[in-house]
Chain A
Amino acid sequence: MMLLELGSIALSVSMASAAGLVGCFAVMRRMTLAADAVSHVALPGIGVALLFHFQPVVGALAMLLLGTVLIWGIEERTGISSETIIGVVFSVALAIGSLMASGEQLIDALFGAPSVLTGWETALGLIGAAAVIIFILRAKHSLVVSLVSPDIALTTGINVARLNLLYLLAFALTVGLGLRYLGVLLMGSLIIIPAATARRLARNLTSMLLISVAIAVVSTVLGAFAGPLLHRDTGPLIITSAGTIFFLSLLKPQPQ
């Protein structure tokens, strides 16, 4: 039991770290709104899972990965910005998802419902979070070049289309990892708010990544501890903590 609890803590810390890292590039790539929309696509997957009685997280992940490949494909073929495609595809997904789930199930899917995980589920979650963290740390240089200019990235030998797909998959995987804690509506916020705060406070890339991870982890731990104490759900408390830190960061004057 103790081992499972430790695993659960490790999982939430690593999920938050992945969210902090992925978020930095989402904020710099101007995908702020897209982050919320992406998490919505998990809903039809959860709906299908509930209908056929298998793990909601599996349905959500499958749907997230499918949706990600879909927007990447549309973007590559049509040249429409991912912001627009995500806006359309994932709003439709939310609509379909809400038709498939109902009542309490829908509330759980939207806001998260922590449950006791088996050892296997915890291990898979840890592997997923580690994969995202390793990808971002290894690809950060290529991501920086391609966000400054995709054309420069091409001449630097970076496969921009492949990098975009991998980044979107890492993004989707991070959303999937956090659904249990935060649900479809709030997971996008854990990706965006710490990174948006870090962007205001940081002077270079390394400090942005570190600050973003720190805020995501602190908010998650605060939420996890405060939830049982205040008899409230952890998800909204995590986002409230992150939001409070963001508003505090506004006190810092920006260089003109």
Chain B
Amino acid sequence: MSERQRDNRVNQGVDSRQFVSALEVEHLAIRFGTTEIFGDVTFGVPRGTSLAVIGPNGAGKTVLFKALIGSLRYEGSIRWAPGTRIGYVPQKLDIERDLPITGGDFLAAKAAVVKEQKGAIVAALAGVGLNQEVLSTPVGALSGGQFQRLLVAFALIGNPNVLLLDEPAAGVDAPGQEQLSSLVRDLQEASGMTILFISHDLSIVYRYATNVLCLSRNYSYVGPPKTVLTPDVLGRIYAMPIGFHVHDVA
């Protein structure tokens, strides 16, 4: 038995058969040419729970999300529950500063494509704590944090039942990060949304994730934060000792 096969057996505490799964991923492998980004990743996400994806830079976290939304070729299987509507917030986008597309144009485009009323735009904007000024500001002129929140607002239009957030708090100020985190938690609690998020902030992961997927080129572990965020697992994933203790966030 190879080391990787053994490691996948360590997937502690997750039994998606107990729940109705929002997502089931089996033996997922992604290669760019001859370079393997990761191989043989298996996990399930029960409906209404949150999964945090952590791992060192280059582990393939963003690539995993791109495979989940169908924008990359992969081996293995990815099965979303029938009726899944995904809201996706990508990592930082490069937008030209002088693009004459306003926040309003961007949100109205989503509302038109998913056939939502204008009221959905106002609700989404309020949900992420942005004021109406953003509607008339070109997207390239928004600050990094404002643009990130606009992307979350965009994702929320159309009543998604799954949110994929790729480092949504990157570039957002501290109060904004707190607001985003509590927004995501509220969405999960109030509407039973399934949430997958990538984060480097282990204290956020510990507080908000139902399960954690640790991803690195050679290993992958899945389980509740308490059993996965241990010095042993983190040390193997990041290939160096990581000092994270439960009492840091208690």
Using a CB–CB cutoff of 8 Å, the interface residues on chain A facing chain B are 28, 140-142, 144-145, 148-152, 154-158, 198-200, 202-208, 254-255
Contact = CB atoms under 8 A, between A and B. Distances in A.
Nearest to B135: A204
Given A141-B112, A155-B86, A156-B113, A148 B102 contact: no
B109 A208 contact: no
14 contacts: A145-B106, A145-B113, A149-B90, A151-B66, A151-B69, A151-B90, A152-B151, A155-B87, A155-B88, A199-B99, A203-B100, A204-B100, A204-B102, A204-B104
Secondary structure type dominating chain B contacts: mixed
Given A142-B113, A145-B113, A204 B87 contact: no
Nearest to A202: B100
A150 B71 contact: yes
Contacts of B110: 141, 145, 156
Contacts of B109: 140-142, 144-145
Interface residues of B, number: 33
Interface of B: 66, 69-71, 86-88, 90, 93, 95, 98-102, 104-106, 108-110, 112-114, 136, 138-139, 141, 151, 154-155, 158, 164
Given A151-B66, A151-B88, A154-B70, A141 B100 contact: no
A144 to B, nearest CB: 4
Contact of A204 (B71, B86, B101, B154): B101
A157 B113 contact: yes
A31 B58 CA distance: 31
A28 B113 contact: no
A118 B139 CA distance: 47
Contact of B100 (A156, A157, A158, A207): A207
Contacts of B151: 152
B84 to A, nearest CB: 10
Contacts of A255: 141
Contacts of B155: 155
A95 to B, nearest CB: 32
The 8 closest A-B CB pairs, nearest first, are A141-B109, A155-B88, A141-B112, A202-B100, A144-B109, A205-B105, A155-B86, A208-B100
Interface centre among A28, A144, A198, A206 (most CB of B within 10 A): A144
A183 B104 CA distance: 38
Given A141-B112, A156-B113, A205 B93 contact: no
A205 B135 CA distance: 12
A199 B138 CA distance: 12
Contacts of A203: 100, 102, 136, 138
A142 B111 CA distance: 10
Given A148-B101, A208-B100, A156 B114 contact: yes
A152 B90 contact: yes
Contacts of A140: 109
Given A149-B90, A149-B93, A144 B101 contact: yes
B99 A204 contact: no
A158 B90 contact: no
B88 A152 contact: yes
